Amino acid sequence: MTAFARTERLGSWGRTASFEGAVARPRFAGDLPAVFSDPERPTTILAHGLGRSYGDSCLNPGGGMVSMRGLDRILQLDPAARVLRAQAGMTIEEALSILTPKGLFLPVLPGTRYVTLGGAVANDVHGKNHTTHGSFGRWVRRIGLVRSDRGAMQVSPDDPDGLFAATVGGMGLTGLIAWVEIALTQVQSTDLIVEDVAFDTFDEYYELMVNHGDSDYRVAWIDCTRPGYGIFTHARHAPIGETQPHPRTKAFAVPFDMPGFLLNGATLALFNRAYRGLKRRRHGPRRAHYSTFHFPLDGVRDWNRLYGERGFRQYQCVIPDAGGREAIWEMLRVISKAGDGSFLAVVKQFGRLPQPGLMSFPREGVTLALDFRNRGQRTLDLLHTLDEIVLSAGGRLYPAKDGRVSANHFQYMYPNWRELEARRDPAIQSSFWKRVTRA
């Protein structure tokens, strides 16, 4: 019987793209080579985790998908050496549940715990501590890879043919990631000491970044309706306390697609003022569990339905420090003028640590992440205008969150794309890669 007997509909987290195709669901690592040799395998395939990529990098219309969630086991855990080897389908949520009671922690966390380890490598995710820890891939020591042309193999940072660098941030195009070996950090407590500080200008934000440079984590929320206003948040691990994993309570679920008319300039302005006011009322440091700080949106299941049935576009860019302040300010002015501001506008700093992947998104500078309700061509036109500002400042976009950037713009932002194409598994393809390379 073929591994691709099931047909399922899969979509992006932004809900702007979906397709129906054949899906294989291997349960054991030994099943992966057979996925490639299956006589009824679609022409091309792509690994799939939890589908939290916002655009089309996790989709393969016209081809097949390989769900990796059945491969979720720990292969080796050495607490003394602080090293974890686990199958690629294990999620960050599952890993933290096992690691935190032992006083161990993943060194880099994205904004949701619903990401597989394989997905974290494939997109080289980053967190609120990039200035000190870099991206997820910097902590990866070894990757188990299964290719259609070379079979099962291991790659590491000293890999002479560049396959490791192509795999980290390579969007799953270099083969099926079977397992990941990652270095861990040690913590004395799973609580953080967190402080919120309001600012009224973008210059104040930069001052706060410098003044709190010794904090483990730094991030800011920006009010898109009033450029310059925001909340800066910094945190560090508590020096003493319990080591408890995140609670496994059921999150509140959005029961239906919200009506589009509820998301407009007036409601956005009201939300932003209320949110900033709430944060400003908190005085001084507070103690908080890591889950509420790192994963605030995980408390709302299916939160992507808040943007209505047409979904939303996420936009994340990074701009070098030399022109970052002016470019971000110009982008916020354009967004405010368009009346299409984002509820979730987040600013962070990226540090100068070298990136491990050919296609790693972070670079030294400032990164801005935004969500926009999908209003069709109006939204696409706004994002194209933002693209021009980013390009003029020497910046680039995050492929994991993109679903519409042009091939010309992408290739200019990522001049190493041909090196990834040269190492792409010939049996693996994605909608994103076909679009940006015109394959």
Verify that 165 and 223 share a domain, yes or no.
no
Domain contains 35: no
Residue at a domain's end among 187, 216, 247:
187
Task: Categorize the per-residue pLDDT at 339 as very low, low, confident or very high, splitting at 50, 70 and 90.
Answer: confident
Q: Under a CB-based contact definition with an 8 Å cutoff, are residues 189 and 243 in contact?
A: yes
Verify that 264 and 394 share a domain, yes or no.
yes
Domain contains 49: no
Domain contains 429: no
3-state secondary structure of 411: helix
Verify that 310 and 267 share a domain, yes or no.
yes
**HSE-up of 330 (CA within 13 Å, CB side)?**
15
Domain contains 39: no
Domain contains 20: no
Verify that 352 and 210 share a domain, yes or no.
yes
What pLDDT shows up at residue 344?
79
Verify that 120 and 265 share a domain, yes or no.
no
- Quick one: which of 53, 58, 67, 61 has its CA closest to 3? 67
pLDDT at 439 over 60: no
Domain contains 32: no
pLDDT at 192 over 80: yes
Verify that 316 and 377 share a domain, yes or no.
yes
What pLDDT shows up at residue 229?
86
Least confident window among 9-18, 50-59, 67-76, 342-351: 342-351
Longest Cα separation, the chain? 64
Average pLDDT over residues 99-122: 97
Verify that 382 and 252 share a domain, yes or no.
yes
Domain contains 266: yes
Least confident window among 19-33, 75-89, 243-257, 306-320: 243-257
Render pLDDT for 129-178 as a digit per residue (tens, 0 to 9). Answer: 999 999 999 999 999 999 999 999 999 999 999 999 999 999 999 999 99
CATH number of the structural domain spanning residue 319: 3.30.70.2520
What pLDDT shows up at residue 1?
65
Verify that 174 and 218 share a domain, yes or no.
no
Verify that 102 and 239 share a domain, yes or no.
no
What pLDDT shows up at residue 15?
95
Verify that 183 and 196 share a domain, yes or no.
no
Task: Please give the residue range of the domain that contains residue 281.
Answer: 191-406
pLDDT at 85 over 90: yes
Residue at a domain's end among 187, 207, 240:
187
Verify that 80 and 120 share a domain, yes or no.
yes
DSSP 268-298: HHHHHHHHHHHHHT--S-EEEEHHHHH-GGG
Split into its structural domains, the chain has a count of: 2
Task: Categorize the per-residue pLDDT at 413 as very low, low, confident or very high, splitting at 50, 70 and 90.
Answer: very high
pLDDT at 268 over 70: no
Verify that 237 and 384 share a domain, yes or no.
yes
Residue at a domain's end among 132, 166, 187:
187
Domain contains 69: no
Render pLDDT for 218-233 as a digit per residue (tens, 0 to 9). Answer: 999 988 878 788 999 9
Report which of residues 253 and 146 the model is more confident about: 146
Task: Categorize the per-residue pLDDT at 274 as very low, low, confident or very high, splitting at 50, 70 and 90.
Answer: low
Tell me the C-alpha to C-alpha distance, in Å, between residue 46 and each of 4, 86, 171, 372, 402.
12, 20, 9, 27, 17
CATH number of the structural domain spanning residue 144: 3.30.465.10
Global pTM? 0.95
What pLDDT shows up at residue 280?
64
Q: Under a CB-based contact definition with an 8 Å cutoff, are residues 68 and 122 in contact?
A: no
What pLDDT shows up at residue 100?
97
